[in-house]
Amino acid sequence: MQKTYYDPADLKKFGKISEWNEELGTKFFEYYGKVFEEGALTEREKSLIALAVSHTIQCPYCIDAYTGDGLQRGITKEEMMEALHVAAAIRGGASLVHGVQMMNKVNKLDM
């Protein structure tokens, strides 16, 4: 058994997912490619969103991929870090906002 769950080399094998279900795999990658095309948002903006989401979902493959993608697009490290703080703020905020539920419960039960 391999000793780590994540191997950087596996990222290059992502396309092989289609081998076990060609129809759904193909549909997914078509969708994926379309999503990242320039639309109302630029490809650059989408790359920054992807980087932020990658950190939120803590996907090492995605972090590697979209850090590299950002560098290729000329995205600066300052822009990358700001995007991460947006992700961190939402993630932290998502925990904290549940505090309202806690407060409601305490207010209801506490004398």
Binding positions for other proteins, rule: CB under 8 A: 12, 38, 42-44, 68, 71-74, 76
The CA-to-CA distance between both ends of the chain, in Å, stands at: 56
Count of residues in the chain: 111
Q: Cβ 74 to other proteins, closest distance in Å?
A: 6
CB of 72 to other proteins, least distance (A): 4
Q: Residues near 29 by Cβ (< 8 Å), separated by ≥ 6?
A: 15, 18
Pick between residue 56 and residue 61 the one whose CB is nearest to other proteins: 61
Nearest to other proteins of 13, 98 (CB atom): 13
Q: Where are the alpha helices (DSSP H) in the chain?
A: 22-35, 43-56, 60-72, 77-97, 99-109
Q: Residue 52 half-sphere exposure, CB side, CA atoms within 13 Å?
A: 19
- Rank residues 43 and 82 by Cβ distance to other proteins and give the closer one: 43
Nearer of residues 74 and 99 to other proteins, judged by Cβ: 74
C-beta of 35: minimal distance to other proteins in Å?
16
- Opening angle at CA 53, ends 48 and 57, nearest 5: 155
Distance of closest approach, residue 61 Cβ to other proteins, in angstroms: 15
